Amino acid sequence: MHPTLPNAPGIGFKPQHFAELTADPGPVAWIEVHAENYMGDGGRPQAQLAHLADRMPVSVHGVGLSIGGEDPLDRDHLDRLARVVDRAGAASVSEHLAWSSHGGAYFNDLLPLPYTDATLARVAAHIDQVQDRLARPILLENPSSYLSFTESTWSETDFLAELTRRTGCGLLLDVNNVFISATNLGLGATDYIDTFPLDRVGEIHVGGHDRETDETGAPLLIDSHGKPVADPVWTLLDYTLARSGPRPVLVEWDNDVPDWLVLRDEATRAADALDRLPERMETRRWA
């Protein structure tokens, strides 16, 4: 039996916060690491991960498996992921509904997918392969989108619901991504939450985005993870938690990483959102 993530705040771990986090985690009850940063053989990254894994639950978040890729999954990379999951004694393993490699090249970005029957079959097969290799279910994260495909025949929420039905995977609901995609594609963020299979959500992400304006004057939000969480995203988190019940909530801050105290304050805000939920709210887990 694996440990599980608590329904409490977590942070995306950054090495520069190691000393302060281990001295006094404050409201931070768990951490998330990007799997690809811990795929070396040894040294400081492995030592820090081992130290933290002894003290708090660790979520292993992959960013490079290219689960939505047309190419077959990279078996070597899947083996590397399995090794990190094992070393971290991971309480949760997650990846993205996206692709990031093609024809042997890796693009270091989460690229978008058309929501068609063909994509569904391919992604489901890849999730099956990952879950078979890891011998556990994973969580799949909704993407942040800047465009859509004319060929799509599924809504994103129906597509994700069908994936969980076919594969048994859970979902990682990134409400910052929901807000970004809804703004960029002219959709309703709360409509998205209303149609999302919340009973399958094992973790929620919040993070910062950049606000730009496109050449038509329309707002264009960029998923930068380089700022505090925007107020409308905190509001959307409240809206989501009121419907899902308490969940593990992660604050992501990957670029222009702030001082520990700034990040800790963001985690405190996530703790407040969880604390505001009614005492007797159902705490059903996704699995």
Contacting residues toward another protein, per CB under 8 A: 36-37, 39-47, 63-66, 69-71, 74, 77, 80, 99-109, 111-112, 114, 116, 118, 146-151, 184, 214-216, 220, 222
Which is closer to another protein, CB of 17 or CB of 80? 80
Which residues make Cβ contacts (< 8 Å) with residue 14, sequence separation at least 6? 253, 254, 257, 263
Amino acid at site 133: R
CB of 197 to another protein, least distance (A): 25
CB of 130 to another protein, least distance (A): 14
Which is closer to another protein, CB of 65 or CB of 251? 65
Identify whether the C-beta of residue 115 lies closer than 8 Å to the C-beta of residue 149. Answer: yes
Q: How far apart are CA 80 and CA 71, in angstroms?
A: 18
Spell out where 26-119 has E strands: 30-34, 58-61, 92-96, 99-102, 105-111
CB of 88 to another protein, least distance (A): 16
CB of 276 to another protein, least distance (A): 34
Which is closer to another protein, CB of 214 or CB of 272? 214
Which is closer to another protein, CB of 215 or CB of 231? 215
Q: How far apart are CA 103 and CA 236, in angstroms?
A: 38
Which is closer to another protein, CB of 30 or CB of 192? 192
Phi, psi at 105, each rounded to 5° = -100, 145
CB of 112 to another protein, least distance (A): 8
231 membership: H or E segment, kind and range: helix 231-244
